[in-house]
Structure 1
Amino acid sequence: MQTAPPQNNYLAGHAAGEGIETVYADDSLLVFNKPAGLLSVPGRGEDKQDCLSRRVQQHHPDALVVHRLDMATSGLMLMARGAEMQRALSRLFENREVHKRYVAVVDGLMHENQPAPQNPGEWALIDLPIAVDWPRRPLRIIDREHGKPSQTRWRSVGSGNAANSTRVELEPVTGRSHQLRVHLQALGHPILGDQLYAPAEVQARAPRLLLHAAMLAFSHPEKGRAMRFACEPGF
């Protein structure tokens, strides 16, 4: 699968709104690099109206949300141009035809403390069901009795910048809310800077959540071409 070639209206490196880098644009879809700390869509309350979707719609009024990233997560986010394309892209997500990869830095030496493949570069699987933690909504928990099936592939790609940390690549097989954060916490390796799932001392080890959506790959619904976008994390 090759990285999508530039189009006539390719806007790499330009801003779709304040602080938003446009990675790709054509008549059907848009790809952006969302900064950490920005909502994907509006939240409840006047103080939560600033978000990626509204900033983008100031420049692309037909842009519609297809998927979301947590506010604290940075990286690649795909939007559709028009309702028909939104339905087509949503079907790709529902059918698990969108390949996503994240990069994170976690607390501890994950490659030493967790069962992992013997051969470098191979993936291990986290298979732990996730449920809403109703008394503490919107948090999630591992619930083996009532949780929904949830799988994440992971592999170590070296030491993190901080001492006693590991840089990992993550591929969600399912798409539960907070899945990556909850799975890593459950293994005893919360993500550095995670204000929701890490203990205070791990939160304090980074100025932000060290989780980044680094790659998206899928088949263009209209053009039939394999599309692949990559965006390195800033940590």
Structure 2
Amino acid sequence: MGYETPMSLPPIIYSDDYLVVVDKPAGLLSVPGRGEANQDCVAVRVQAAFPDALIVHRLDMATSGLMVMARGKAAHRSLSMAFEARQVDKRYVAVVAGRMADDEGEVNLPLITDWPNRPRQMVDHDIGKPSLTRYRVLERLSDRTRVELEPITGRSHQLRVHMMAIGHSIVGDEFYASDEVRALSARLLLHAQFLRLPHPDTQQPVDYFSEVKF
């Protein structure tokens, strides 16, 4: 049975006068895309309930999990600076193809947009931007591995390309997995599970958590 994207407001994990944290479903854009048919997105749905909510960061359309939106310009400035300064700790859970040999490690491969095939990204050691992902194995199954991923940098498709580059594409990935691995799931098995960030009012670290559904 195929995966269907919910049509309602994404679940609100937390909200106050400064921010809204939502649990984005897979298959929903973070921001409006091109054309009238691609206007539905997290931003539009959340702004219907919180008109002052502003986008701070994005998740890939195929990725589920935690997204934070700022309420008002001051909060937006504070959170945007925190993301730019890498003061935000992000952890994802993915199911990847094959059994990963090492319990933990890192992937340090520079990335750049594959322009003829965009939005795909690719590794480029000459002009790619520095990109670093840390990983930790959570569970090994017969033909796949459940892994925690921590992006130290925030490049587009970073986790997806890095996992593919070390021979362990994320299950269900329409861009980077083989036909066989893509067919194992109706959706991309990548979920933004944990966020720690400085609250825009107090600047004290706050944690948010979202349950993995796969």
What TM-score do you get using the length of structure 1 for normalisation? 0.86
1:186 maps to what in 2? 165
Distance in 2, Cα, partners of 1:19 & 1:159: 34
1:58 alignment partner, SS class? helix
Runs of 4+ in 1 over 3 A off after TM superposition: none
The answer to whether the 8 A contact 2:9-2:45 is kept is no
2:203 maps to what in 1? 224
Q: What are the equivalent positions in structure 2 for 1:100-111 lying under 5 Å apart?
A: 100-110=90-100
1:173 maps to what in 2? 152
Distance in 2, Cα, partners of 1:20 & 1:137: 28
1:39 alignment partner, SS class? coil
Q: Deviations over 1:95-139 (max 9, x none)?
A: 0000000000000001x2xxx36xxxxx41110000111111111
2:70 maps to what in 1? 80
- Which amino acid is 2:123 matched to? I
2:57 maps to what in 1? 67
The answer to whether the 8 A contact 1:19-1:35 is kept is no
1:135 is matched with which residue: 108, 113, 116? 116
1:183 alignment partner, SS class? helix
1:52 maps to what in 2? 42
- Which amino acid is 2:138 matched to? V
- Which amino acid is 2:209 matched to? A
Distance in 2, Cα, partners of 1:219 & 1:87: 12
2:125 is matched with which residue: 139, 144, 153? 144
1:225 Cα offset (Å): 2.7
1:211 Cα offset (Å): 0.1
| Aligned alpha-carbon RMSD (Å) | 1.2
What is the percent sequence identity of the aligned residues?
Answer: 55
In structure 2, the CA distance between the partners of 1:58 and 1:19, relative to structure 1 (3 Å rule), is: closer
Distance in 1, Cα, partners of 2:140 & 2:99: 8
**Greater shift in the superposed pair: 202-211 or 219-228:** 219-228
1:199 Cα offset (Å): 0.9
The answer to whether the 8 A contact 2:9-2:46 is kept is no
Distance in 1, Cα, partners of 2:194 & 2:106: 19
2:83 is matched with which residue: 55, 79, 93? 93
- The answer on 1:22 being equivalent to 2:12 is yes
The answer to whether the 8 A contact 1:38-1:71 is kept is yes
1:32 maps to what in 2? 22
- Which amino acid is 1:43 matched to? G
2:190 maps to what in 1? 211
1:232 Cα offset (Å): 1.5
Note the residue ranges of structure 2 that are not aligned, 5 or more in a row: 1-6
Distance in 2, Cα, partners of 1:97 & 1:103: 20
Note the residue ranges of structure 1 that are not aligned, 5 or more in a row: 1-16, 118-122
Distance in 2, Cα, partners of 1:51 & 1:221: 24
What TM-score do you get using the length of structure 2 for normalisation? 0.94
Distance in 2, Cα, partners of 1:231 & 1:95: 24
1:226 Cα offset (Å): 2.1
- Which amino acid is 2:86 matched to? R
Number of residue-to-residue matches in the alignment: 208
Q: Deviations over 1:3-57 (max 9, x none)?
A: xxxxxxxxxxxxxx81410000000001000000000000001110000100011
